[in-house]
Amino acid sequence: MSTLSVGSRGDSVRRLQDTLRQAGFNPGATDGSFGPKTKAAVEKYQQARRLDVDGVVGTKTMQALRRDGFDRRTTNPVDINGGNRSATNGTARIDSPRNTRGMVTGSVTVNGHTYQFRSGNSRSFSTPQGEFRVRAHMNSRSDAGFTRDGVGFSFVMEDPRRPGSDRFYDSRAGRDRQYLRIHPDGAGPGTAGCLGIVGDAATLRQFRADMNAELARNNGSYTLRVQ
């Protein structure tokens, strides 16, 4: 495969940008254009993976990206300005669902951008699979469990059959669970069953902006499918 560098364009660059974002490195908009922000994200990624730092996606950097989920297959570009959207928009995909307590990882796509999350920990179940209604909660937070790199926020996840209640029945626990939120993965790896978004400050600000855009476009209530 040819290298990707400043000036490259197309679906491979889009997938590169999505993979960098999922890995916690903000490349700017997923627009298929390899510009200065994408180069800076590649350099930070290379530094973190102990690769030669040159901002160019060559053989060794691509091998690392593939381990982090880069997909060479052609996909339809995501329209982040409205109109027809990717089938994954509004979906949180858990890598390996568990029927017991413990942390899982996965990715969530909002407003055409994909982010990595962690959910659950040694004492709690991860977010249940199913359909949730997401609504605004706190656009800025400072408490440690909801903050990362100085960025804090939370969004409510509620049972769509019970508007106004954040309770959701979890068959694994055999009971209703409540206070399910989407927030930065801040206090440590995993959350008490919420979706903890992984990334640096710029990534978290972008996620918050994307979720607020979805809520504004959908009259304050956004459907998210966890599967």
Q: 114-132, pLDDT tens digit by residue?
A: 889 999 988 899 999 999 9
Confidence (pLDDT) at 144: 81
Query: The tokens of 79 are what?
Result: 């329209």
Confidence (pLDDT) at 85: 38
Q: 151-183, pLDDT tens digit by residue?
A: 999 999 999 888 888 889 999 999 999 999 999
Q: 59-116, pLDDT tens digit by residue?
A: 999 988 887 767 544 333 333 333 333 436 789 999 989 899 999 999 999 988 888 9
Q: Which of 160, 178, 141, 151 is nearest to 223 (CA)?
A: 160
Q: Which of 141, 96, 119, 136 is nearest to 192 (CA)?
A: 119
Question: CB under 8 Å to 71, separation ≥6 — which residues?
Answer: 15
Question: CB under 8 Å to 173, separation ≥6 — which residues?
Answer: 125
Confidence (pLDDT) at 122: 87
Report in angstroms the alpha-carbon separations of 143 from 43, 55, 56: 31, 35, 38
Query: Is the predicted pLDDT of residue 32 greater than 90, yes or no?
Result: no
- Per-residue pLDDT averaged across 209-221, rounded? 88
Confidence (pLDDT) at 79: 32
- Per-residue pLDDT averaged across 17-23, rounded? 81
DSSP letters of 96-159? Answer: S--SSSS-EEEEEEETTEEEEEEE-BTTB--PPSEEEEEEEEES---SGGGEETTEE-EEEEE-
Amino acid at residue number 45: Y
Q: Which of 124, 226, 227, 123 is nearest to 182 (CA)?
A: 226
Beta strand pairing call for 104-110 and 113-119: antiparallel
Beta strand pairing call for 91-94 and 222-226: parallel
Confidence (pLDDT) at 214: 87
Higher pLDDT, 193 or 1: 193
